[in-house]
Chain A
Amino acid sequence: MVKEVMTSNKAVAEAVRLAKPQVIPVYPITPQTTISEYLAQYVADEKIAAKYVKVESEHSAISAAVGASGAGVRVFTATSSQGLMLMHEILFAAAGMRTPFVLADANRAISAPLNIWNDQQDSIAQRDAGWLQIYVENAQEALDTTLMAYKISENPDVLLPSMVCLDGFILTHTVEPVEIPDQESVDKFLPPYVPEHAYLDPKEPMSIGNFADPDYYTEARYAMQVAMDNSIEVIQKTCDEFAEIFGRQYGLVEPYKTEDADIIFVAMGSLCSTIRVIVDQLRDQGEKVGLLKIRAYRPFPVEAIKEAVKNCEKIAVIDKNYSFGIGGALYSDMKVKIDKEIYGFIAGLGGRDITPEYILEAYEKTKVPEKDVTWIGLKEE
C-alpha cells in the first residue's frame, strides 16, 4: 500500500491499472482527458497488458467496448458530457447485451450553452439505460469504487455495466492524498473475468445481440430489472468484502448525523463534503440536521434511504441536474419512493460553485417552504 497525492482522474487510472482490463477503447474529452492520457501511458510503459484502441469518437469507444466485452474480456472506457450523450444509444445496448464493463464519467454540463464545467446532467440523462451508477465524493472513493464496480458488474446475478460518476474539475483536477492498494490484495479481491454468458469462441459458437420480437423483448428487459434488484445486495456485499481487505467501508448510501435529524439533506458526489461542514455548523447552533449521501443512484437504494430518513420530518434534496417541467432527478425519485415532506433545490449547474450560503438557503427554505422546487443562486436580471 502506497499513499500518493493525486487527482481523481489519476485515482481512476490507478484503479484501472490494478483491475487489469484487456481492452481500453477511449476517446479524450474535457475533463476526462487525463484518464485517457494516463491509460495510454500505462499501456505504452507496459504497466497494463491491454489493447488501447484509439477510437475516432465516443460512439466508437462504447461500441468497441461492447464488442470486446462481448468477446469475453474485461474492458474499461471513460468519457464526459457530450461524449456520454454521443454514447447514449449504445449504453442501452451494452446493458441489454449484459456486457459488464466499467465506464468512468467525469460529470460535466451538457450543451447548449456550451460549458465544460461540472454538473451531473450528463450521467443523470442516462439513468434509464440499465447501467449501475455510483457517484463518488473524493479521489479515494473514485479509486475504490472503480475497483468495486468491476466486481459488482461481473457478479453472475448482476451482469450489467457500471458507471462511476465523478464531478468534473472539482474531483477530476483536484489533488488529494490517496491510498493505492497493492496488486496482490486487488487480485485477491478482483480475480480475472471469466464470463459464462457472453464470449466469442469459434470452438463454441454463440450469437449475441439477437433480434427479439414482442414474444421475447419484455422478458429480456425484465431480466435486467431483476439484475438491478439483485445488485442492491451485491453492492452491499462487495462493499463489505472491500472493507475487510482494504479497511475502507462504503455502502449504497452514507448517512451522516441522520439518526435524530429533523431535516436531512440528500445529495450525490463532491457536494456532500461541503454539506457535511454545514451540517456540523448548524449542529453547533443546535439545529437537528443531517446528510444522506446517495452513492448508488441506480439501483435506487429505496430501503437503505427509508432506513436513514425514517426519523426525520423533512428532506432537502440538492440536484446538480434538471428535468425540465418537473425538477431534479434525485428529487423526483425521492418523491416517488419516500413518503416524507420533500423539497428540491437546483444548484451548481454548469460549474456554478455551491457555496455554504446556498446550502444554508436551501436549509432555511426547507424549514419555511415556499415551493416544491427552488433554483438556488439565480442572479437578478
Chain B
Amino acid sequence: MVDIPDKDLLAPGHRGCAGCGASIGVKLALNALGENTVAISATGCLEVMTTPYPESAWEVPFIHVAFENSGAVASGVEAALRIQGKDDVNVVAFGGDGGTVDIGLQSLSGAMERGHNMLYICYDNEAYMNTGIQRSGATPFGATTTTSPQGSASFGEDKPKKDMPMIMAAHGIPYVATASIAYPEDFVNKVKKAASIEGPAYIHLQQPCTTGWGYPSEKTIEMGRLAVETGSWILYEIENGEFSITFTPEERKPVKEYLSQQKRFRHLQDEQIEKIQKYVDAQCSELGL
C-alpha cells in the first residue's frame, strides 16, 4: 500500500492540465522522499506549470536553471549540500523526456558518471508536450507529432524510442529503474530504494499525457495500465547490476488495445501495428517478460 500523507509536497492549484500525469508522478515521488529534500527541475511542463512567479507549488526547496542542464545543476546543488555536511538531504532532479534523452543527455551522463548521491527522475510523456507535441528521442514508433506528422508519405515517427534506462545502466550506477504513474506502489518503492542507496540513481517514469497522446483526461491511469499490460512499457529495476522485472501482467494484451485508444496512433495501418507488436514482443522476450 502507498501511504497518502496529510500534506502533499507538490501543492494543489498548479497549472497542470486536468489529468496531468507529470504532476501525479512528481507528487508521488516527493511524498516518498519526504520534506528533507531539495528538488531540481529542467525547463518543461513541470517547471512552467508549478512555478509561475510569484507562485510556487513546491513545498520543498526548488531550483530551475535551464532546459538541458538539470543533471549539472543537481551536481552543483549536491556538492554544495554535502560540503556543508548535509549528507541526509535527498537531492532529486526532474526532467521531461526531451530534457533527459535529447538535450540534457550530456549533462545527465556527466552527473551519473561522477557519482553524485542523487536521484534523477525522467518524467516521460514521449514528446515535447510543453511546446505543443513535437517529437523527442523518446517518441515511440508510429506516433504522429507536430514534427513527425502523419501524411501521405509518412505514418508518423519512423524510429523506435531511445532506450534511455539502459543507457543509464551502462554508466554502472547502483540503481536504475523504469516505472509508471499507473503503478504507484511500484514507483514509490523504487523512489524510496533509490533514495536509500548511496550514489546516483535513475528512474524512468512513464506518464501518459492527455494533451499529447489524445485520450479523455480521466483515462490517464487507464492508459498507463494499458502500456504496461500490453508490454509496451516494462517495469523493471537494475540494482547493483542485478536486473529484475518488478511487475508481470497476468496475460499480455495485444498492443492494438493500447494504440487504438490514443489519437497519436489512430492513423496506423495493420502493417505498422504488426510491426509495433513484433517490436514489443522482441523487447519482452529480451527482458524476460
Contacts and interface: CB of A to CB of B under 8 A. Distances in A.
B79 A51 contact: yes
Interface stretch (A64-72, A115-123, A303-311, A330-338): A64-72
A140 B40 CA distance: 39
Interface string A19-50: 00011010000000000000000000000011
A25 B75 contact: yes
B74 to A, nearest CB: 6
A349 to B, nearest CB: 31
Nearest to B67: A89
Nearest to A205: B61
B77 A68 contact: yes
A284 interface: no
Contacts of B107: 56-57, 59-60, 63
B38 A53 contact: no
B59 A73 contact: no
A309 B80 CA distance: 46
A67 B65 contact: yes
Interface in B55-85: 56, 58-66, 68-69, 71-77, 79-84
Nearest to A216: B53
A28 to B, nearest CB: 14
Contacts of B76: 23, 25, 53, 63-71, 75
Nearest to A200: B61
B25 to A, nearest CB: 19
A213 B56 CA distance: 14
Contacts of A53: 75-76, 79, 114
Nearest to A61: B72
A51 B83 contact: yes
A360 interface: no
B36 to A, nearest CB: 5
A211 interface: yes
B83 A50 contact: yes
Interface string B102-138: 0000110110011000000000000000000000000
B197 interface: no
Contacts of B71: 60
A93 B79 contact: no
Given A22-B80, A23-B83, A64-B79, A201 B73 contact: no
A1 to B, nearest CB: 29
B85 to A, nearest CB: 11
B259 to A, nearest CB: 34
Interface string A333-371: 000000000000000000000000000000000000000
Nearest to B54: A216
Given A63-B66, A64-B72, A202-B89, A211 B80 contact: no
B283 interface: no
Contacts of A206: 61-62
B51 interface: yes
A167 to B, nearest CB: 29
A53 B74 CA distance: 11
B252 to A, nearest CB: 40
Contacts of A89: 66
B75 A207 contact: no
A212 interface: yes
A51 B77 CA distance: 11
Nearest to A59: B69
B218 interface: no
B237 interface: no
A49 B53 CA distance: 36
B79 A211 contact: no
B70 to A, nearest CB: 8
A304 to B, nearest CB: 34
Closest 9 CB pairs of A and B: A67-B76, A64-B76, A56-B110, A71-B80, A63-B72, A60-B72, A68-B76, A63-B69, A207-B56
Given A51-B80, A205-B62, A211-B48, 4 more contacts: A64-B75, A93-B66, A209-B62, A210-B51
Interface of B: 35-38, 40, 47-48, 51-54, 56, 58-66, 68-69, 71-77, 79-84, 89, 106-107, 109-110, 113-114
30 contacts: A23-B80, A25-B76, A25-B79, A51-B82, A51-B83, A53-B75, A57-B106, A57-B107, A63-B72, A63-B73, A63-B75, A64-B76, A67-B40, A67-B63, A70-B63, A71-B76, A73-B83, A90-B66, A93-B65, A97-B65, A200-B62, A205-B58, A205-B60, A205-B62, A207-B51, A207-B61, A210-B53, A210-B54, A211-B53, A212-B53
